[in-house]
Amino acid sequence: MSIRRAAAIVGVYEHPGRRLPDHSLAQIHAECAVGAVRDAGLSLDDVDAYFCGGDAPGFGGISMAEYLGLRLRWVDSTETGGSSYLSHVGHAAAAIAAGKCSVALITLGGRPYSSRIARPLDLEAPELAFEQPYGMTAAPAAYALAAQRHMYEYGTTSRQLAEVRVTASRHAQYNPHAVHQEVVTADEVTDSPLVADPLHRLDCCVVTDGGGAIVMTSPSVARNLPRRRVQVLGHGEAPKHANNGRIDLTYSGARWSGPAALREAGISLADVDYAGLYDSFTFTVIQQIEDLGFCGPGEGGKFVLEGALEAPHGRLPFNTDGGGLCNNHPANRGGITKIIEAVRQLRGEAHPALQVPDCEIALVQATGGYLGTRMGSATLVLGREDA
């Protein structure tokens, strides 16, 4: 069963807070939920399906359903890290298409900045004894490992990685909520302190509190709502793991999830007007561009140096809110914010300086977990309602 045009995104909300020491985790989820249903012209009473990841407090979807007062027919708590929320959109569209629900709510919320609590180690994880002694439980180390391999295989440079941050900063200057609104140069990126060679501090995403939410409905519900709707055209997801050490670090799971989403949507890469690309680190963006097929293996660095990511007129305008590198990476998870900004672009509601002209098709790509070990990759293709 295809989900192409089986469901629409009718409401989105990104929490404006980046430092929320006085909020509980449930409160952040709730404020995002209320914001999204209001944006859709609905209420929480209309919601009959709820989707959340591992960031939801307590008993996940069950606890949040009680906290929000939801009466549900469907609950999904798929957990694939930062890509979870792209998976949720695909799963919600499938549930709506199957008649299992008609109004689905997806939320994300977190307080990593205020709580300063690192993710606890899973002491039962089968890989722990082989990785923890060598520092592979820290995200920068795992991403740096993949970046180093890519540099060795293809000659990718720190200057090329830096260009991703430079472009993100140029976009973030227009976002009043962005953590970093100052435009930076490539020299400033490469001169910033090393975190894990070759990744510098400005190659790394921000750490923020906050969250976001999405409301999806069936076409019959959507056509009676006031907001311009965004069609779900295609969805793909794929895990990639270390295969007991036999891992090629030069590509991500986007190599599989991307083509699946494009096939379902019935489009080619040439049809994509805007891309929301997961940017936990600058290197993450370069690897995904290659894996999705916007350029060949090893050509991502050259691609970004040519200004391809610049909005509004670049070859592949990306992350016009400033992305995880400059704007927001709530709960240490950036997937939902990529969807929200893609919806803004398709609605024509991005900042006027960055709005892509006649934006009809957006591709959103996210990677959860670590590029250097194991990940969940998910891809969405979204279309303007008249596309």
Rounded-to-10 torsion of CA 131, 132, 138, 141: -50
Domains of the chain, residue spans: 8-115+205-384
Residue 128 pLDDT: 80
Identity of the amino acid at 63 = S
Backbone angles phi, psi at 210, to 5 degrees: 120, -160
Instruction: Please give the C-alpha separations between residue 205 and each of 175, 218, 249, 260, 285, in angstroms, as whole numbers.
Output: 16, 35, 21, 28, 12
Q: Provide the pLDDT for residue 48.
A: 98
Angle between helices 158-172 and 282-292 (to 10 degrees): 100
Divide the 387 residues of the chain into consecutive groups of 10 and give the mean pLDDT of each group. Answer: 94 97 97 98 98 95 97 97 97 98 98 80 79 79 95 98 98 98 98 97 97 97 94 97 87 97 98 98 98 98 98 98 97 95 98 98 96 93 88
Please report the pLDDT score of residue 387 as a whole number.
64
Please state at what angle helix 84-97 crosses helix 335-347, rounded to 10 degrees.
60
Q: Is 8-115+205-384 assigned to CATH 3.40.47.10?
A: yes
